[in-house]
Amino acid sequence: MIRCSDVMCGSEQGQFRGNSESVGWKGSSGTIKMHPARSIRRAEWFEGSLRLLCEQDGATEVFALDGFKDSDFEPLWKYIEQACGVYLKKHRPQAAVEEADFDSAMGGIEDAADRVDEASKGSVQKKAKEADLMKKVEVLRDGLDQAVSGDKQALSRVFAANGCERIGRLRLVVDTVQLEIYHTDPRWKHLLSKCATIEAVLKELGTFRLWRPVEGHSSSLLKRAAIVRELRHRHGEEEVNTTDPTHPTPVPPPELPRKMPEVPILPKVSQLDADLPSQDQASASVQPHPEPEPVSHDIVKEDVPPKANEAKEACRSSRTPSESADEEAERSERVRRMLYLYPTSVMEGWVWKRSRFLKMWRRRWMVLLPGQLVTLKTRGQHAPTEVIPAGSVYRVYNAEAEVQQARCFCVGIRERNYYMVCDNESQQRSWIEAIEQTLCKKNRA
């Protein structure tokens, strides 16, 4: 049994009550509103406001209550989970990054990075300068951490301004500063992750531009970094900031996770009732994160004399359609196998995997072997992060509606469910079919 006083329903104040069978509210004038506990389908909380989506006899209704205290959330969460079998989702206010705050913090980082590069290698001064840089990195990292969890459009307005100058300055610093001691520091790695996340959001919204310092820019580091990047580009090298899944340090996904990436039921207290979705909309899938660029499987053609090319074309034209198709399939299979790490693997490739406890999406190289399914942090790593043995899988299915993520599938075992998101629908279907045929109990019986 739970009771909360001074709760508003409409314009009237009253008391909220709930037991194992029903949930309701009684107003000061005697008005009573009540719903069966098991009719609750969704429950969401935002700064003292509670919304319950109730379904009974085919009809749906939103039970709207306001005026709860912050201390009411914990008992409400436990009650709704136990009596209604529903998880109470708590929405946080969306954070917005301030341009002036970022510019101030970024200026300090640029100056500190300049001092790091000016210090002699292996000296005590360089270590001290790096420690000073990490203090400034920590401040900027915390600000970006809040910004990326907020509204994407607000994030774009800040970082897409002036040709993406702000994120461009940050990218040039993190790509070129010469760290000796603190290059593996968690604060530095976290900043790299946030930088990649912001770029991914801008690319998703179509506002990303590669920024270069203009003439007269005050930072010598940025000028030098721009020259280094230009030289790499001219020599045909990859950009440091690549989303190619074969790169040694692939760009991580936006950290999604403590709240659903959908438009919430409770975006603003003033718009709670206006923005409530219908029952069908509640199960609609949402784009989980920006898609990484697909791996290019094109074979580099060698220089061949014109006569040799003509001979090849004549030979190719004399073949039957079935022979050409077989050769093309064989060629594609050879290319595919060249990208694999294990000679006995059934299928390999990059996916986004949801972590078990934090529910964060992380980029993983997944390998399907005849006896197990494993995931690796990087393509060349040997120690797996997850191992799913053959015979333990009882179900592999499309889980887009279940976790509100496009191109998601689930590998279910008795202990838990593993959720993975593919780069395209073709990969999603291939993984589902391959895992089901290789590891499922019913297919191995």
Q: pLDDT tens digits, residue range 364-380?
A: 999 999 999 999 988 87
Which residue ranges make up each domain of the chain? 2-90, 99-234, 306-338, 347-444
Asked whether the predicted pLDDT for residue 274 surpasses 90, the reply is no
In 3D space, the residue among 405, 400, 374 whose CA is nearest the CA of residue 387 turns out to be 374
Asked whether the predicted pLDDT for residue 19 surpasses 50, the reply is yes
In 3D space, the residue among 237, 170, 238, 155 whose CA is nearest the CA of residue 203 turns out to be 155
pLDDT at site 246: 36
* 234-248, 301-315, 414-428: least confidently modelled range: 234-248
pLDDT at site 85: 87
Alpha helices in 119-238 (DSSP H): 124-148, 152-159, 161-176, 186-205, 220-234
Sign of torsion over alpha carbons 319, 323, 325, 329: negative
DSSP helix/strand/coil, 347: strand
Sign of torsion over alpha carbons 168, 172, 175, 179: negative
Task: Count other Cβ atoms within 10 Å, centred on residue 322.
Answer: 8
Residue carrying the six token digits 């299915």:
397
pLDDT at site 284: 39
Using CA atoms in the order 259, 264, 270, 275, what is the torsion angle rounded to 10 degrees?
Answer: 180
Range 2-90 classified under CATH 2.30.29.30: yes
pLDDT at site 380: 76
Range 347-444 classified under CATH 2.30.29.30: yes
Backbone phi and psi for residue 267, each to the nearest 5 degrees, phi listed first: -70, -40
Contact 177, 113 (CB under 8 A): yes
Contact 407, 278 (CB under 8 A): no
| pLDDT tens digits, 333-358 | 666 666 787 888 899 999 999 988 88
DSSP 360-405: -EEEEEEEEETTEEEEESSTT--S-SEEEETT-EEEEEE-HHHHT-
> Diameter of the chain by CA atoms?
96
Asked whether the predicted pLDDT for residue 408 surpasses 60, the reply is yes
Share of the chain above pLDDT 90, in %: 21
Judge if 2-90 and 347-444 fold alike in CATH terms: yes
pLDDT at site 16: 92
Residue carrying the six token digits 């949402």:
286
- pTM beyond 0.75: no
Contact 404, 420 (CB under 8 A): no
Q: Which residue would you say has higher pLDDT here, 308 or 399? A: 399
Please, what's the b/e burial string for 399-420 (b: 16 or more CB within 10 A of its CB; e: otherwise)?
A: bbeebbbebbbbbbbeeeebbb
In 3D space, the residue among 131, 140, 130 whose CA is nearest the CA of residue 191 turns out to be 140
Residue carrying the six token digits 């900027």:
140
Contact 179, 188 (CB under 8 A): yes
Backbone phi and psi for residue 331, each to the nearest 5 degrees, phi listed first: -65, -45
Distance CA 264, CA 302 (A): 54
Mean pLDDT, the chain, rounded, equals 76
Distance CA 194, CA 142 (A): 10
Using CA atoms in the order 320, 325, 328, 329, what is the torsion angle rounded to 10 degrees?
Answer: -140
| pLDDT tens digits, 49-83 | 999 999 888 888 889 999 999 889 888 988 998 88
